[in-house]
Amino acid sequence: MEDYKALSQEHIFNTYARLPVTFVRGKGCRLWDDNDKEYLDFLAGIAVCNLGHCNPEVTRVLCEQADTLIHVSNLFYTRPQIELAAELTRLSFADKVFFSNSGAEANEAAIKLARKYSKDRYGEGRFHIVTMKDSFHGRTLATLSATGQEKVHKGFEPLVEGFAFVDFGSPAAVENAITERTCAVMVEPIQGEGGINLPPANYLEGLKELCRKHDLLLIFDEVQVGMGRTGRLFAHEHYGVTPDIMTLAKALGNGLPIGAMLATNQAAEAFVPGTHATTFGGTPLVTSVALRVLRIISEPSLLERVRETGEYLMGRLRELQQRRPSIREVRGLGLMVGAELDRPGQNVVTKLLERGYVINCTHDSVLRFVPPLVVERAEIDRLIQALDDALAEETQ
């Protein structure tokens, strides 16, 4: 492990605060390091490996497609891409799909589509987008500019012009930020990096009504919350509101890099040949895998299991909260769960890693639990015991 750590420090950009573990293999909810130590994974690559590591069916499709056709230019048709797009639109509000390589690229495409749609409809000058404080939309220049966290902006100014940030959860704040230059409202139905923040009742409905009133596009960023994570295929289904544009990534390929922007026909018509493109987005390899992942995750029995297991996880965490008052609040939906501490949480993350449990901390003090959707109750029980021990040490 030390040799690889030294090689990494010598040859790889120092852009991650890496933890001192080198993982070499995974299966389901388990990971093993280069000393063959086993870990229980409650992070899933940050909500990526929703079907667990090396899911046999995903691996079978990956190998078959790798032996058939990996890549051709998007100048040509390929069956897996078309079949995935057809399935995504069948299962959602959308009519059209644009494939990319990541969530940031999907959000970049959404920002461009909103601006182009507005320019085609209203002419120059109407390109501002209202986004939320504590949001996270990516690390490209436009998506970090759209992100409502100052720490993400630092060092990259001047940012891309045209984003207004308001408090998450307040339709009135959004309405106050709307001007004649506004073209869209962009929001995560549940904030992930911002600390697992759920919307208040009727919030998304309020945003939908504002967008209808001012003829704005409503963009839902479901990069982290989508693909079954909350117990529905898409998080916005919990609230009965559909957007004009939605972005997906992370779990769509269960570990293979793929992003997607979905839109209604009305919005999608703003993109024509030459306005937007990608070299690697939607290759036969990743779309064949994503199609299989989508079909497995959209099974009602799996989604019901996510809801039940998520309630069990939150229930166990709330029990622990009674004994450990350093847990200020437990919140979440499905298997997207946060436990906010009354102090920074990184020490707890490190203590759990030493015990063989992988989680992370977001927004400084929120322990984030986003395990593979196939996690078992017995594995949750083991995590809770380890967390109890770690918090006991922390408060000694």
Q: Is the peptide bond before 273 cis (omega within 30 degrees of 0)?
A: no
Across the range 112-130, mean pLDDT stands at: 97
**Residue 2 confidence (pLDDT):** 62
Taking only the tens place, the pLDDT of each residue in 279-314 is: 999 999 999 999 999 999 999 999 999 999 999 999
Instruction: Determine whether the annotation assigns residue 278 to a binding site.
Output: yes
The CATH code of the domain at 69-298 is 3.40.640.10
Residues 6 or more apart whose Cβ sits within 8 Å of residue 310 = 230, 231, 332, 333, 334, 335, 336, 337
**Residue 375 confidence (pLDDT):** 98
**Residue 395 confidence (pLDDT):** 74
**Residue 192 confidence (pLDDT):** 97
- In degrees, rounded to 5, the angle at the alpha carbon of residue 340 between the alpha carbons of residues 335 and 343 is 145
Taking only the tens place, the pLDDT of each residue in 193-245 is: 999 999 999 999 999 999 999 999 999 999 999 999 999 999 999 999 999 99
**Residue 106 confidence (pLDDT):** 98
**Strands 30-33, 23-27: pairing kind:** antiparallel
**Residue 3 confidence (pLDDT):** 84
HEC string for the chain: CHHHHHHHHHHCCCCCCCCCCCEEEEEECEEEECCCCEEEECCHHHHCCCCCECCHHHHHHHHHHHCCCCCCCCCCCCHHHHHHHHHHHHCCCCCEEEEECCHHHHHHHHHHHHHHHHHHHHCCCCCEEEEEECCCCCCCHHHHHHCECHHHHCCCCCCCCCEEEECCCCHHHHHHHCCCCEEEEEECCCECCCCCECCCCCHHHHHHHHHHHHCCEEEEECCCCCCCCCCCCCHHHHHCCCCCEEEECHHHHECECCEEEEECHHHHCCCCCCCCCCCCCCCHHHHHHHHHHHHHHCCHHHHHHHHHHHHHHHHHHHHHHHHCCCEEEEEEECCEEEEEECCCCHHHHHHHHHHCEECEEECCCEEEECCCCCCCHHHHHHHHHHHHHHHHHHCC
Taking only the tens place, the pLDDT of each residue in 313-333 is: 999 999 999 999 999 999 999
Whether residue 136 is predicted with pLDDT greater than 80 in this model: the reply is yes
Percent of the chain with pLDDT over 90: 98
**Residue 121 confidence (pLDDT):** 97
**Residue 166 confidence (pLDDT):** 98
What's the rounded Cα separation, in Å, for the pair 34 and 17? Answer: 19
Evaluate the CA torsion angle 23, 25, 31, 32 in order and state its sign. negative
**Strands 163-166, 128-132: pairing kind:** parallel
What's the rounded Cα separation, in Å, for the pair 348 and 257? Answer: 30
Token pair in block for residue 117? 């749609």
Token pair in block for residue 137? 């939309």
What burial class does residue 353 get, using C-beta atoms within 10 Å of its C-beta: 0-12 exposed, 13-18 middle, 19+ buried? Answer: middle
Tracing tokens 């040490």 back to the chain, one arrives at: 393
Taking only the tens place, the pLDDT of each residue in 149-172 is: 999 999 999 999 999 999 999 999
Instruction: Determine whether the annotation assigns residue 221 to a binding site.
Output: yes
Which residues carry out catalysis?
Answer: 136, 221, 250
Q: Under a CB-based contact definition with an 8 Å cutoff, are residues 134 and 194 in contact?
A: yes
Phi-psi region of 255 (alpha: psi -120 to 50; beta: other; left: phi over 0): left
Whether residue 1 is predicted with pLDDT greater than 70 in this model: the reply is no
What's the rounded Cα separation, in Å, for the pair 334 and 372? Answer: 11
The mean of the pLDDT values for the chain is: 97
Instruction: Determine whether the annotation assigns residue 103 to a binding site.
Output: yes
pTM over 0.75: yes
Domain 4-55+300-393 falls under CATH 3.90.740.10: no
Chain centroid to CA 67: 30
Whether residue 4 is predicted with pLDDT greater than 90 in this model: the reply is no
**Residue 153 confidence (pLDDT):** 97
What burial class does residue 220 get, using C-beta atoms within 10 Å of its C-beta: 0-12 exposed, 13-18 middle, 19+ buried? Answer: buried
Instruction: Determine whether the annotation assigns residue 223 to a binding site.
Output: yes
**Residue 394 confidence (pLDDT):** 83
User: Domain segments of the chain: what residues?
Assistant: 4-55+300-393, 69-298
**Residue 196 confidence (pLDDT):** 97
**Residue 249 confidence (pLDDT):** 98
Backbone angles phi and psi of 248, in degrees to 5: -135, 160
Instruction: Determine whether the annotation assigns residue 136 to a binding site.
Output: yes
Cα diameter, the chain: 63
What's the rounded Cα separation, in Å, for the pair 246 and 107? Answer: 9
Cα separation values, 10 from 3, 20, 33, 103, Å: 11, 15, 21, 29
Taking only the tens place, the pLDDT of each residue in 244-256 is: 999 999 999 999 9
